[in-house]
Amino acid sequence: MVLKKDKKADLKSLQRQLGTSRLGFASEERLYKYLRLTPGEVTPLAVANDTGHEVEVVFDADLAGKDRIGVHPNDNTATVWLTFEALEKYVAHYGSIVHFADI
């Protein structure tokens, strides 16, 4: 889930919007298994590590069209800035399913 830093995710609302019965944050083990990340490093750029295409990415609909979005480059000690269009293309390039939701 990718959203602005000042927003909080309402998982029940997201479940309804995505039509899923179960939604939650990944455990430390699952983060590492699928994205090769540890807690605190979560970033949409990690889809490059998801060789089995298991991870689906949910973008906050408010991000669409933004000229500048900051994300961690698989390490939370730095920030990479790019357009939303570039980020969406990057995620799609690695074969992840993309969803949009009102968060």
DSSP letter string, 44-93: GGGGGG-TT---EEEEEGGGTT-S-EEE-SSSTT--EEE-HHHHHHHHHH
Residue 34: phi and psi, rounded to 5, are -95, -35
β 80-82/69-71 pair status: antiparallel
Which residues are bridge partners to 58 per DSSP?
99
What's the whole-model pTM score? 0.85
pLDDT, tens digit (0-9, with 9 covering 90-100), for 37-96:
988 888 999 999 999 999 999 999 999 999 999 998 888 889 999 999 999 999 999 999
Token digits of residue 46: 């990690």
For each of the domains in the chain, give its residue range(s) and CATH number, in order of start. 11-101 (3.90.960.10)
